[in-house]
Structure 1
Amino acid sequence: MTQVEYLIIGHGIAGATLAHELRRRGRSVLVIDTPQPDSASNVAAGLMNPVAGKRFALAWRVEELLPAASAFYRQLEARFGQPFFVEAPILKLFSSVAEQNTVIARSADQPWRHFVENPGEPLPVVPGMRADYGGLRIRGGGHVLVSNVLAALAAEGIQEGWLWHETFVWEQLVPAAEEAGGGLLYAGRVRAQHVVCCEGANARHNPYFHWLPLTPNQGEVLDVECAGLSDQQVLNKGAYVVPLGNGQFRVGATYRWPPFAAGTTPEARQELSQRLDAMTTEPFRVTGQRAGVRPAVRDRKPLLGTHPAQASVHIFNGFGSKGVMLAPRLATLMADWLETGQELWSEVNIQRYSALYIAALSSAGVASSSGSRS
């Protein structure tokens, strides 16, 4: 019988960062994960962008999240002896004169001044870049080699025995007898005091948290070869262009809400090719196309917390397209909650959706009394 304090389901960026944080605190952890080469974490280009969106708004809590993420990946780099975080300027390209004028006019009042260099000045000349209307040079960001991070941590987990590659079956999770120490028993061979759900978009099938407003969102990316385009920066104009080295780039990503086709589509290939063509004067060749499903949430904030009636079952999920920047700091927040009961931020606490839980109980014909966390 394997006995641990924490059983974590899923080893994407959420499960990996939380497992790392709990193990760093000396806790016993077992992660069960089904390897998926085209998971959202593995497909993502890992962009960390402090200024995002069509409104050029400062990313949520970026002053706290970005430094924590950067420090986390730098620590992993030192530990594993390989690069994980490529810090590079992000050139946010304008789409029109009107957009250019609007952004520059309000730049003095923007809280992103610390992250944006001289918004009124022309962009530097970049070989192969098409910037007819100029843009903003954003500093402090870059991109994370997400699949490399997960592979390094997974290799360590398999070697040390705290990561199992198998499919988790929820029906095999049952309460353990109190005389045997309580907690939860899985498949008759694992006893855990706590179970944390980090299974990404698959959480919509989770019997404990199916009531949360987590909606799968499909994103597709292209890998392209463009020898004439500089690889010293990330480009962003309706899509991102992330350098992979040796004239290779990743372009993405699309957003498709259900219903969507399984796998890649010619429509996404055309859309991303057109967006890349709007950012470069150089010819390019598509060398690959991948699709992944993100765990998106209605209010675009992650889902952290404990089940209202099951004090040993928790969730750390819903990171959408910004997981690489959000997960490291939120992993420490979640670990503090699990270990000491320190309050979660209200924006991410699943208590904000308690009305949905009560409605789910009502529709199932169950009394709506909720348990307390012990």
Structure 2
Amino acid sequence: MTRIDYLIIGYGIAGATLAAELRGRGRQVLVLDTPQPDSASRVAAGLINPVAGKRFALAWRAAELLPAAAAFYRAQERRLGQRFFFELPILKLFSSVGEQNSTIARSADQPWQDFVEDPGAPLPARPGVRQELGGLCIRRGGYVRVEELLTALAAEGRQEGWLRPETFDWAQLVAQPEGGYLYAGRVQARHVVCCEGAAVAQNPYFQWLPVTPNQGEVLDVACPGLPETEVLNKGAYVVPLGAGQFRVGATYRWPPFAVSTTPEARQELSQRLHELTDQPFQVTGQRAGVRPAVRDRKPLLGTHPALPNVHIFNGLGSKGVMMAPRLAQVMADWLEKDLAPWPEVNIRRYFTLYSPGPAATGPASPASRS
């Protein structure tokens, strides 16, 4: 019999950062994960961008999230002896004169001083980059090689026994009279934390949350003529991977999803890259993944309204790489110290959508929170 404090379901960027945080606090953790090479975390380019969106506003809590992300990824690099985190400027290129004028006009009202260079300054020439309308140079951005990070952490987890490549089955989770849960007759856990990403749509205890998964596709391209000292962004991001290789993305597709990658996405992303560079390129790969998107674009942290020991850490979406390390601390503080998650991410904001049904009295019936 395995006895643990936390049973974590899913090992994308949410499950990985939360497992690391709880283990760092001395807790016994077991992660169950269905290996999916095209999960959203593994497909994504891992972009970290403090200024984003059509309005070019400073990202939510960027000043707090960025240092926590950098500290976490650098700590993993030191511990594992492998590089994952690349801090690079992001060159946001304007697509129209209107975009150029409106962004510069708004710049005085944005708290950008630590993140954006002078919006009115002319850009130095960059060979291979179409920048006739100028753009913004964003500091403190970059990317994380998420797939390599998750692969390294998973190898460690399997070796040490705290991660198992196994599909979780809710029917095998049984509440115990003394509190906590018995899973599959062989694992005793005080708490269960759901970090399944888009698969939360099939979770019988959190289906009521407003998660609408969306599918994104990316291209890997070889383009030796492009500079590799910046992330480029003009209708698509272009992330340098080294040796003249780049990742270009991403598309957004709402249900119904394509079974795999599509020629339409390949054409769309290729056209976006053509608009950004005059250099020839070759598509070397194409991948698709499904993201967990939330109605208000904020993550989901908290505890089930009827099951005090069943929790969720999910909905990180396209900014998950930047948000996950700090939010894992917030989630661990809730689990360990009863410090409520920030209101913007606390699932209590959606409790009015919850209606008790068969799932609330099923295998994971209420147990006292310990």
3-state SS of the aligned residue for 1:207? Answer: coil
Q: Following TM superposition, by how much is the alpha carbon of 1:122 offset from its aligned partner in structure 2, in angstroms?
A: 1.3
1:71: which partner in 2?
71
Residues 8 and 133 of structure 1: CA distance in aligned 2, closer, same or farther (over 3 Å): same
Q: Following TM superposition, by how much is the alpha carbon of 1:143 offset from its aligned partner in structure 2, in angstroms?
A: 0.4
2:275: which partner in 1?
278
1:21: which partner in 2?
21
2:12: which partner in 1?
12
Q: Following TM superposition, by how much is the alpha carbon of 1:238 offset from its aligned partner in structure 2, in angstroms?
A: 1.2
1:81: which partner in 2?
81
Q: Following TM superposition, by how much is the alpha carbon of 1:362 offset from its aligned partner in structure 2, in angstroms?
A: 11
After superposition, residues 165-176 of structure 1 pair within 5 angstroms as 165-176=165-176
Indicate if the aligned counterparts of 2:95 and 2:234 stay in contact, CA closer than 8 A. Answer: yes
Residues 195 and 372 of structure 1: CA distance in aligned 2, closer, same or farther (over 3 Å): closer
2:261: which partner in 1?
264
Rounded to whole Å, the distance in 1 between the matches of 2:129 and 2:213 is 33
1:211 aligns with 2:208: yes
Rounded to whole Å, the distance in 1 between the matches of 2:367 and 2:310 is 12
Deviations 1:286-327 (Å, cap 9, x if unpaired)?
A: 010000000110100000000001111000001111110010
2:150: which partner in 1?
150
1:289 aligns with 2:289: no
Rounded to whole Å, the distance in 2 between the matches of 1:287 and 1:212 is 38
Rounded to whole Å, the distance in 1 between the matches of 2:233 and 2:54 is 11
What percent of counterpart residues are identical? 73
- Specify the code of the residue in structure 2 equivalent to 1:259: P
After superposition, residues 294-333 of structure 1 pair within 5 angstroms as 294-333=291-330
- Specify the code of the residue in structure 2 equivalent to 1:218: Q
1:125: which partner in 2?
125
Rounded to whole Å, the distance in 1 between the matches of 2:344 and 2:194 is 19
Rounded to whole Å, the distance in 2 between the matches of 1:365 and 1:75 is 42
Indicate if the aligned counterparts of 1:308 and 1:371 stay in contact, CA closer than 8 A. Answer: no
Structure 1, unaligned runs of 5 or more: none
3-state SS of the aligned residue for 1:328? Answer: helix
1:109: which partner in 2?
109
Structure 2, unaligned runs of 5 or more: none
2:182: which partner in 1?
185
Rounded to whole Å, the distance in 1 between the matches of 2:367 and 2:75 is 39
Residues 121 and 235 of structure 1: CA distance in aligned 2, closer, same or farther (over 3 Å): same
The match for 2:199 among 199, 202, 207 is 202
Rounded to whole Å, the distance in 2 between the matches of 1:372 and 1:125 is 63
RMSD after superposition: 1.8
- Specify the code of the residue in structure 1 equivalent to 2:244: G
Q: Following TM superposition, by how much is the alpha carbon of 1:105 offset from its aligned partner in structure 2, in angstroms?
A: 1.8
Rounded to whole Å, the distance in 2 between the matches of 1:131 and 1:344 is 42
2:39: which partner in 1?
39
Indicate if the aligned counterparts of 1:107 and 1:113 stay in contact, CA closer than 8 A. Answer: no
Residues 373 and 175 of structure 1: CA distance in aligned 2, closer, same or farther (over 3 Å): closer
Rounded to whole Å, the distance in 2 between the matches of 1:356 and 1:123 is 49
Indicate if the aligned counterparts of 1:183 and 1:193 stay in contact, CA closer than 8 A. Answer: yes
Indicate if the aligned counterparts of 1:11 and 1:32 stay in contact, CA closer than 8 A. Answer: yes
Indicate if the aligned counterparts of 2:205 and 2:359 stay in contact, CA closer than 8 A. Answer: no
Deviations 1:167-218 (Å, cap 9, x if unpaired)?
A: 111111111242xxx3101110101000000011001111110110111110
- Specify the code of the residue in structure 2 equivalent to 1:250: R
Rounded to whole Å, the distance in 1 between the matches of 2:319 and 2:290 is 13
- Specify the code of the residue in structure 1 equivalent to 2:303: T
TM-score, length of structure 1 as denominator length: 0.95
- Specify the code of the residue in structure 1 equivalent to 2:236: A
Residues 45 and 332 of structure 1: CA distance in aligned 2, closer, same or farther (over 3 Å): same
Rounded to whole Å, the distance in 2 between the matches of 1:325 and 1:88 is 14
- Specify the code of the residue in structure 2 equivalent to 1:219: G
- After superposing the two structures, state which structure 1 stretch, 118-127 or 233-242, moved more: 118-127
Rounded to whole Å, the distance in 1 between the matches of 2:220 and 2:74 is 26
Residues 334 and 200 of structure 1: CA distance in aligned 2, closer, same or farther (over 3 Å): same
Residues 373 and 166 of structure 1: CA distance in aligned 2, closer, same or farther (over 3 Å): closer
1:345: which partner in 2?
342
Residues 364 and 8 of structure 1: CA distance in aligned 2, closer, same or farther (over 3 Å): closer
Indicate if the aligned counterparts of 2:309 and 2:367 stay in contact, CA closer than 8 A. Answer: no
Rounded to whole Å, the distance in 1 between the matches of 2:195 and 2:310 is 11
1:134 aligns with 2:161: no
Residues 33 and 59 of structure 1: CA distance in aligned 2, closer, same or farther (over 3 Å): same
1:92 aligns with 2:89: no
Rounded to whole Å, the distance in 1 between the matches of 2:16 and 2:323 is 13
After superposition, residues 207-246 of structure 1 pair within 5 angstroms as 207-246=204-243
Q: Following TM superposition, by how much is the alpha carbon of 1:361 offset from its aligned partner in structure 2, in angstroms?
A: 4.6
